[in-house]
């Protein structure tokens, strides 16, 4: 009898299980009429604006959702049973050890109390720091003012680099993949001069510290030094959009009635003269010259190339003074110290190197390692600091006296291109591959992000940034592969920078 009774009980349990499963299937596959409980004829009389195939698809999706919830509900019931079983075991153990009557309710109350204490402890531990971080971000976005002031449009291809003249008149220079470099009026946004002497992409542009000369590096494996002299538009209204005087030899300057590409576009190229012949051509590299810069004093220049070397030239004689070797892969950038004979070169080999020419008899080099991908740029700042940006989505601030580890690290969500640092405000401008431009201080605290919408800001990769701190209107410029440069007005209060 016990065996038969057991079999009968098992049969009843199996039958009940099949019945429940059958009910579950009928409930899951029930029609809309069954679920709403409304009369079938009433529902059939209702008109639906949805097409029948779409309606059937929706009903099928809702059925799948219902089945998923039913599965979760069953799992939840099983978990509850397991919890009850564990609570019963804990109650039995507690009764044996403590000799008291610990009911399930008491255990639940105790567990709930412990959970509440743990939750409160976690909240107390992290609430202050989290609130501080959130409040700092709110303060940053509300107090920092970043406004787009002027757009400089006219290049027929992406703009790689920017430069600001160091003497008056202060103008903006752009280097483009369309084989040209342009000088722009910062206030009017009009093209003042166009250099077309290169046979390849113009990858960088830098201006002489005391003379009206520009240094450009190109994909044609050369660097050119060429002269310019411009006069900015007069403040009085005139018929012409700009007043321009070019004091160069007649064979170097050409006025063209019809320029290639965008003719009479925003750049006003119908009256923009062009310079074709450089004063000096520097050619010793066996690959693309990606960057070039003037050493302090302007008597020597340094160039960086894809041939894995950097060259030091004498400007007056065009002679090659030194070849700087040591990088394992292509160079990406070079920068000179504003007051000392120091050069920093960056490379795809994940390092950047500091070259010291202060002692004529000793030319030392120090290697900085800390990035995990291409170092896209490294620039000098005030005091003895260098800031490096990389494709590994980090920017690092280094002390020249301690090369082992950076003093600050900025982590971003996109690769960083040619950065620049404001000397007076000590603000780092980060141009990104994802079209964003962000501002940080030297300690790694984020100050602002330049506005970017469909109508404002860059629409493609931002390649470079440069500060112009003496200009009250536009004190930051950026350029990118949307073929335009943008002038920004950045106003960040001193209290925000101190935070």
Domain ranges of the chain: 147-498
User: What's the pLDDT score for residue 270?
Assistant: 56
Angle between helices 104-143 and 52-98 (to 10 degrees): 120
H helices within 29-51, ranges in order?
32-36, 40-45
Whether the CB-CB separation of 382 and 397 falls below 8 Å is answered with no
> What is d(CA 143, CA 447) in angstroms, rounded to the nearest whole number?
9
> What is d(CA 268, CA 455) in angstroms, rounded to the nearest whole number?
22
Q: Which residues contact 102 (CB under 8 A, 6 or more apart)?
A: 90, 91, 94, 95
What CATH homologous superfamily does 147-498 map to? YVTN repeat-like/Quinoprotein amine dehydrogenase (2.130.10.10)
Choose between 325 and 269: higher pLDDT.
Answer: 325
Taking only the tens place, the pLDDT of each residue in 90-100 is 877 665 443 34
> What is d(CA 439, CA 419) in angstroms, rounded to the nearest whole number?
10
H helices within 167-305, ranges in order?
none
Percent above pLDDT 70 for the chain: 72
- Smallest CA-to-CA distance from 287 within 159, 378, 163, 201 is with 201
Helix (H, G, I), strand (E, B) or coil at 100: coil
In which band, very low, low, confident or very high, does the pLDDT at 423 lie, cut at 50, 70 and 90? confident
Residues 439-461 have a mean pLDDT of 91
Taking only the tens place, the pLDDT of each residue in 116-143 is 555 555 455 444 444 444 444 444 444 6
Reported as type and span, the H/E element at residue 430 is: strand 427-431
- Smallest CA-to-CA distance from 379 within 326, 325, 417 is with 417
pTM score, two decimals? 0.68
- Smallest CA-to-CA distance from 349 within 325, 369, 379 is with 369
User: What's the pLDDT score for residue 320?
Assistant: 96
Q: What does the block give as tokens for 17? A: 């299980």
- How does DSSP classify residue 348? T
b/e burial code for range 131-166 (CB count within 10 A of at least 16 → b):
eeeeeeeeebeeebebebbbebbbbeebbbbbbbbb
> What is d(CA 406, CA 371) in angstroms, rounded to the nearest whole number?
10
Taking only the tens place, the pLDDT of each residue in 32-60 is 444 444 444 444 455 677 888 888 888 88
Provide φ and ψ at 7, rounded to 5°: -65, -40
Strand order in the sheet with 420-421: 420-421, 427-431, 437-441, 446-449
> What is d(CA 214, CA 208) in angstroms, rounded to the nearest whole number?
6
Q: How many CB atoms lie within 10 A of CB 6?
A: 10
């Amino acid at each position: 009898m016990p065996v038969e009774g057991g079999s009968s009980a098992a049969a009843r349990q199996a039958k009940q299980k099949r019945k429940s499963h059958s009910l579950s299937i009928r409930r899951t596959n029930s029609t809309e009429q069954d679920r709403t409980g409304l009369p079938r004829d009433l529902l059939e009389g209702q008109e639906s604006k949805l097409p029948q195939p779409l309606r059937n698809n929706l009903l099928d999706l809702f059925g799948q959702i219902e089945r998923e919830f039913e599965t979760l509900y069953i799992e939840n019931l099983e978990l509850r049973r397991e919890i009850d079983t564990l609570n019963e075991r804990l109650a039995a153990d507690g009764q044996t050890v403590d000799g008291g009557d610990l009911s399930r309710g008491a255990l639940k109350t105790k567990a709930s109390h412990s959970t509440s204490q743990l939750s409160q402890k976690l909240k107390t531990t992290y609430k202050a720091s989290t609130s501080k971080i959130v409040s700092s971000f709110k303060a940053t976005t509300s107090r920092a003012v970043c406004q787009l002031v002027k757009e400089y449009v006219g290049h027929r291809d992406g703009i790689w680099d920017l430069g600001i003249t160091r003497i008056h008149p202060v103008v903006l220079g752009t280097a483009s993949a369309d084989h040209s470099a342009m000088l722009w009026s910062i206030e009017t946004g009009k093209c003042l001069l166009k250099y077309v002497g290169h046979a390849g992409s113009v990858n960088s542009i830098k201006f002489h510290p005391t003379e009206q000369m520009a240094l450009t590096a190109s994909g044609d494996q050369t660097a050119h030094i060429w002269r310019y002299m411009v006069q900015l538009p007069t403040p009085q209204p005139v018929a012409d959009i700009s007043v321009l005087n070019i004091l160069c030899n007649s064979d170097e300057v050409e006025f063209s009635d019809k320029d290639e590409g965008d003719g009479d576009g925003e750049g006003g190229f119908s009256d923009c003269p062009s310079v074709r012949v450089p004063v000096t051509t520097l050619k010793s590299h066996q690959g693309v010259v990606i960057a070039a810069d003037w050493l302090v004093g302007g008597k020597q220049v340094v160039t960086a190339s894809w041939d894995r070397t950097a060259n030091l030239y004498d400007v007056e004689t065009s002679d090659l003074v030194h070849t700087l070797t040591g990088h394992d892969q292509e160079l990406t950038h070079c920068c000179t110290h504003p007051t000392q004979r120091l050069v920093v070169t960056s490379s795809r080999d994940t390092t950047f190197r500091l070259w010291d020419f202060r002692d004529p008899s000793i030319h030392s080099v120090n290697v900085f390692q800390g990035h995990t991908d291409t170092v896209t740029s490294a620039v000098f700042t005030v005091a003895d600091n260098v800031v490096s940006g990389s494709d590994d989505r980090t920017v690092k601030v280094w002390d020249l006296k301690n090369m082992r580890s950076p003093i600050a690290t900025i982590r971003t969500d996109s690769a960083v291109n040619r950065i620049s640092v404001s000397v007076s405000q000590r603000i780092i401008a980060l141009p990104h591959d994802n079209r964003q431009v962000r501002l940080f201080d030297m300690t790694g605290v984020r100050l602002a992000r330049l506005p970017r919408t469909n109508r404002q800001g860059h629409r493609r990769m931002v390649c470079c940034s440069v500060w112009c701190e003496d200009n009250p209107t536009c004190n930051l410029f950026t350029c990118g592969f949307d073929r335009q440069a943008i002038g920004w007005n950045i106003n960040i209060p001193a209290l925000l920078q101190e935070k």
